[in-house]
């Protein structure tokens, strides 16, 4: 079996499955997988055999984004369905009546303060915090970031501490509802 045959036999179905997981329709997923496999085949000699899968997934994801057909993306850990870019666009297109403008200004100031607080954190701490907010547990985050669980917990705790220091919670909403528990009570 040649390497191109192997590529099709091994990855076509898993790649379609992954694309469906990205929110693609089945027919779109099959189409993107086909195009990705052909494009990958042309560069096959530059891809180590044990890196074919990450190459294919990244290429397929980028192609799907390019086609602007991506639907709702499920968050890891059973969180809400969301599409970050869509939400971002939606915010920018808010109505322009006066009260909304005032509220919009308040939200913009809050976001700026939030971004400033995030900027205070080291990159790894920001990543651990983002993954925790996506619903992942310390053990999973540790594996993804190549850290031990204790290091993950301390980074998430640090991130929460800085956000608490820099921002105020909405009246009546406890911090744990906004930031989740610092710890996932594992171990």
Stretch that binds other proteins, among 93-101, 118-126, 148-156 (CB under 8 A): 118-126
42 contacts other proteins (rule: CB under 8 A): yes
Backbone angles phi, psi at 155, to 5 degrees: -70, -45
39 contacts other proteins (rule: CB under 8 A): yes
105 contacts other proteins (rule: CB under 8 A): no
Q: Residue 36 is encoded by which pair of tokens? A: 């990705």
Nearer Cβ to other proteins (44/154): 44
Binding-site string for other proteins from residue 72 to residue 91, where x marks contact by CB under 8 A and - marks none: -x-xx-----x-xx-xx--x
Place of tokens 């042309």: 42
Site for other proteins in 135-174 (CB under 8 A): 143-145, 168-171, 173
95 contacts other proteins (rule: CB under 8 A): no
Query: Residue 7 burial (CB < 10 Å; 0-12/13-18/19+)?
Result: buried
Q: Which of 55, 71, 139, 157 binds other proteins (CB under 8 A)?
A: 55
User: CB-based contacts of 100: which residues, under 8 Å, 6+ apart?
Assistant: 94
CA 13 vs CA 32, 57, 65: distances in Å: 12, 12, 20
- Measured distance CA(61)–CA(19) in Å, rounded: 7
- Measured distance CA(183)–CA(167) in Å, rounded: 20
Q: Which of 15, 29, 32, 59 binds other proteins (CB under 8 A)?
A: 59
Query: Least Å distance between CB 159 and other proteins?
Result: 11
User: CB-based contacts of 178: which residues, under 8 Å, 6+ apart?
Assistant: 169, 170
Residue 174's H or E segment, with its range, is none
Contacting residues toward other proteins, per CB under 8 A: 1, 3-6, 8-10, 12-13, 21-22, 34-35, 38-40, 42, 46-59, 61-62, 65, 73, 75-76, 82, 84-85, 87-88, 91, 103, 106-107, 110-111, 114-115, 118, 123, 126-127, 130-131, 133-134, 143-145, 168-171, 173, 177-178
């Amino acid at each position: 079996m040649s390497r191109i045959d192997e590529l099709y036999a091994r990855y076509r179905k898993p790649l379609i499955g992954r694309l469906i997981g990205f929110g693609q329709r089945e027919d779109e997923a099959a189409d993107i997988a086909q195009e990705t496999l052909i494009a990958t085949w042309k560069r096959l000699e530059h891809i180590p055999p044990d890196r074919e899968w990450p190459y294919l997934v990244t290429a397929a994801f980028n192609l799907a984004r390019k086609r602007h057909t991506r639907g709702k993306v499920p968050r890891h850990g059973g969180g809400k369905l969301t599409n970050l870019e869509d939400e971002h666009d939606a915010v920018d297109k808010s109505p322009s009546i006066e009260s909304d403008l005032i509220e919009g200004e308040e939200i913009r100031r809050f976001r700026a303060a939030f971004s400033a607080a995030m900027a205070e954190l080291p990159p790894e701490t920001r990543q651990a915090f983002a993954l925790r907010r996506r619903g992942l547990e310390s053990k999973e985050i540790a594996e993804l970031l190549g850290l031990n669980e204790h290091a993950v917990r301390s980074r998430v705790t640090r991130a929460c501490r800085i956000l608490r220091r820099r921002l105020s919670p909405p009246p009546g909403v406890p911090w744990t509802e906004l930031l989740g528990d610092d710890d996932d009570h594992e171990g």
